Amino acid sequence: MKKILIIDDEVNVALLLSKFLTRNGFDVTTASTGTIGMEYLKNGDFNLVLCDFRLEDTDGRAMLKNIKTQYPKTGVIIITGYSDIKMAVELIKMGAYDYITKPLYPDEILNTITKAIETHYALVEDRATPSSTGNDKSSRENRKQAFNGEFVLGASRASKELMRQIELVAPTNYSVIIMGESGTGKESVAKSIHLNSPRYNQPFIAMDCGSLTKELAASEFFGHEKGSFTGALYTKIGHFEMANGGTLFLDEVGNLSYEIQAALLRTVQERKVKRIGSTKEINLDVRIIIATNENLQEGIQKGRFREDLYHRFNEFSIWIPPLRERGGDIMLLAEHFLKLANHELGRGVTSFSPEVVDCFMNYRWQGNVREMKNVVRRATLMTEGTEIAMKALPLEISNYKMPVNDFSSQAENYEMREPRHDLKNAALEAEYDTIIKVLREVNFNKTKAAEILNIDRKTLYNKMKAINIK
């Protein structure tokens, strides 16, 4: 269960927040002063701190500095009034994950807290490890691994190539387009680029362009001044300004209207932003990473996406392959998500049954990594013992039957091949022929084939990969 510390001298606010978050599955502790809050932090292992900016004995800036100095792996969210928004943005640059403005809205609070805990999870999990602040190499490794939650660096060639590209582009200021199917982990890759860049200690601001209406988009991007239009009850900081000094991640950018694309182009070109209703221009130093599961070049041809904006963004592009093309990573990901689910649910599930392993390896994973994460979380919840069995899987997965042609056609391609120059001798050639024969006899059930061949499944997968059978 995730642990949250609320530091707020308004007793009623702290009490309401505590009850709401407890109902949503969090372990909540409250403190009425900064001093008490620091004492609780000393004696407890908290995932996240919600801290009011104005406290009786201190303020949010001092609290953030103390928390980040003594407990750098604990996330911090600042609670602030409307008049404190500018200060809150500065606090984000000091290391706060985000800020929540008063009055407090349950959906906004829960969404922000959930994202903050997911962001800081990898660091919180390793809290017992001594700090390596003075060790630059260790610090780089920690940043490199911090967002592997949705793209675990595995054994597949695709994963290694992806990490190579991340390490190549991260130190630059290039704008990046990340392409891939829904659920492949595009935001996770964007965060990895940010963490491996010189901007790693500056804000990473993510924006879902797919959920923006035409009317709200300009305000979300650029911000607005109080009274600049009907309903503008307070000054709002736009995402560009919030990300200043750091990285702005725009997800599903292909959904933006043509008019907003034109405004974006001007901002990207001039590196300046002006809030709606203001005459003051703000200089920007922002790296932009965008993500899409659509073909933007096709959108250009159909007049839905500006070609000049595309070329501004496309200084470097990364393609994330779907999970079904990363067979060598499937069980690595499954085991990683099992570990996360055990931590979240307080369970002690340790493994997957051989049947589940076969099922995972043969399933198509149309929802990619996101689908796998949800499946493993559900299966962990449904499992009473220490091993996940087939009955714990959703029916669409446990009843899934891969067409025999998927494997048999690969086997036929192998048998029709020209002699392979990388097969060192006839004995090795004969071994692969035997593997093909056994796989056919057991209808490509890899668990049974491994038993007959007297090898483990991992060895069988490697040999199948060597002869280009997935």
Q: Would you call 221 exposed, middle or buried from its count of C-beta atoms within 10 A (0-12, 13-18, 19+)?
A: buried
pLDDT at position 430, please? 63
pLDDT at position 451, please? 75
Secondary structure of the chain as H, E, C letters: CCEEEEECCCHHHHHHHHHHHHHCCCEEEEECCHHHHHHHHHHCCCCEEEEECECCCCEHHHHHHHHHHHCCCCEEEEEECHHHHHHHHHHHHHCCCEEEECCCCHHHHHHHHHHHHHHHHHHHHCCCCCCCCCCHHHHHHHHHHCCCCCCCCCCCHHHHHHHHHHHHHCCCCCCEEEECCCCCCHHHHHHHHHHCCCCCCCCEEEEEHHHCCHHHHHHHHHEECCCCCCCCCCCEECHHHHCCCCEEEEECHHHCCHHHHHHHHHHHHHCEEECECCCCEEECCCEEEEEECCCHHHHHHCCCCCHHHHHHHCCEEEECCCHHHCHHHHHHHHHHHHHHHHHHHCCCCCEECHHHHHHHHHCCCCCHHHHHHHHHHHHHHHCCCCEECHHHCCHHHHCCCCCHHHHHHHHHHHHCCCCCCCCCCHHHHHHHHHHHHHHHHCCCCHHHHHHHHCCCHHHHHHHHHHCCCC
pLDDT at position 247, please? 95
Each residue's pLDDT expressed in tens, for the chain with a length of 470 residues: 788 999 998 888 888 888 888 888 889 999 999 999 999 998 878 889 999 988 888 888 889 988 988 888 888 998 887 555 567 667 777 778 888 877 777 777 888 888 777 765 544 443 333 333 444 444 444 444 444 444 456 667 788 888 889 989 999 999 999 999 999 889 989 999 999 899 988 999 999 888 787 778 888 899 888 888 877 787 888 899 999 999 999 999 988 988 899 999 999 999 999 999 988 999 999 999 999 988 888 889 989 899 999 999 999 999 998 888 888 788 888 998 999 899 889 999 999 999 999 899 889 899 999 999 999 999 999 999 999 999 999 998 988 865 544 554 444 444 444 444 444 445 556 666 677 777 776 667 777 777 777 777 777 777 777 666 65
Tens digits of residue pLDDT in 86-141? 676 677 777 788 888 777 777 778 888 887 777 655 444 433 333 334 444 444 44
